[in-house]
Amino acid sequence: MQSTFILSTRPGEKPSVTTGIPHIQLDQNSSDEMLDELATWAFSLDGVVEQPSQASLPGARGLTVAGELPARREAMIVGREFGHIHPGGSLHLRLPAGEAGDVVDEGWGEYHPFALDGTIPGLVMVYAPRTTEDLDVVKTIIEASVFFALSGDG
């Protein structure tokens, strides 16, 4: 079973992003207030706990499945971490293939180089929210990633 979401097309120009590792959004970052709102909301979700990211640069905040809950192995980036929030507000998240494709097709993000080479399928960078409307869409994408991470038995 998958969560379902319908994404509108992201308005505006695509942000500049590095093409290699580390995979970083270079412009159109979130304001400090927007980043605080995003993180406060994301880490209040049931089953999600904050840990320093094990898969990103220092300062990234890992979205991890709470230790007492089962975690879907194929939804994890490393350990129990299924995503992380970068200091600028962009995120890396694991999603099922169809939903990852929707994020990319509608301009809300792009595939991580490790998804492109098959190392970590469904890993996308979700661009940093710039407005409250962007934040609403990003929350929908995060909810889909949480659903994917928590809907397994592994």
Segment 97-129, tens digit of pLDDT: 999 999 999 999 999 999 999 999 999 999 999
Alpha helices in the chain (DSSP H): 32-42, 97-105, 113-116, 132-150
Span between the terminal Cα atoms of the chain, in Å: 15
pLDDT of residue 1: 40
Tell me the torsion sign for CA atoms 83, 115, 102, 148: negative
Average pLDDT, the chain: 94
Domain residue spans of the chain: 34-150
Q: Which CATH architecture has domain 34-150?
A: Alpha-Beta Complex (3.90)
Q: Is the pLDDT of residue 153 over 60?
A: no
Q: Is the pLDDT of residue 2 over 70?
A: no
Report d(CA 48, CA 114) in Å as an integer.
Answer: 24
pLDDT of residue 154: 45
pLDDT of residue 151: 83
Residue pair 137/7 in contact (Cβ under 8 Å)? The answer is yes
Report d(CA 12, CA 14) in Å as an integer.
Answer: 7
